[in-house]
Amino acid sequence: MTTRSPDTIRTVPHEVRRLTIAVGAPFEEFRTRYEEAVPPVDADRRGALEAAGADWQAVLDAAAENAPHGFMIYWSSDVGSLMRLAGSTRRCVEYLMGNHTIAERMYRHDPAVMLYAPLRTAIYDDAEGTAWFAIDQPSTRFASFGVSAITAVGVELDRKVAALLELLDAPVPPTLTG
């Protein structure tokens, strides 16, 4: 039988603020604008950098080119198409959106930040056909680590999400800029 000290398990309750924003545009139009502003990560280039053992500046430069507005899509799924098999008519696409060069600034303090990086987002429509964008406010996720440097990056991510929403001509929740 293994004996473990009490500090081998940590429980961290924390409050998360989910932001849901009526985007004021049709679902497909907003989805297209979002996917143009947040391009897919260039996995081939990233792999080549890893294989070459590139220096971090090369990684920073590649990410800046790949993510002109600060974010890349690492994964997406058209959940609505699957749910249509159950008779639902609502549309929903979920994404993992982020930037590994920003995540690294938190990772160096606590790799567990990767629970929340990349950020999870969704674009969906409601029963009336209104299109929505949803995201958990980054600072509320990252503040739970209790490390000021991680918290600061979370606040920076709030501002970057606000800038993205402005670029997409969507309302910006005051909590992202306050």
Q: What is the pLDDT of residues 123-175, one digit of tens each?
A: 999 999 999 999 999 999 999 999 999 999 999 999 999 999 999 999 999 99
State pLDDT tens for residues 38-60. 999 999 999 999 999 999 999 99
Tell me the longest C-alpha to C-alpha distance in the chain.
Answer: 60
Is 5 exposed, middle or buried, given 0-12, 13-18 or 19+ CB atoms closer than 10 A? exposed
User: Is 3.30.310.70 the CATH number for 17-170?
Assistant: yes
Instruction: Count Cβ atoms within 10 A of the Cβ of residue 97 and give its class: 0-12 exposed, 13-18 middle, 19 or more buried.
Output: buried
Q: Is the pLDDT of residue 3 over 80?
A: no
Q: For residue 112, is pLDDT > 70?
A: yes
State the Cα–Cα distance between residues 102 and 60, nearest whole angstrom: 9
pLDDT at 7: 79
Which of 3-12, 113-122, 166-175 comes out lowest in average pLDDT?
3-12
Given a cut of 80, whether residue 5 has pLDDT beyond it is no
Residue 6: predicted pLDDT: 67
Contact 136, 14 (CB under 8 A): no
pLDDT at 1: 61
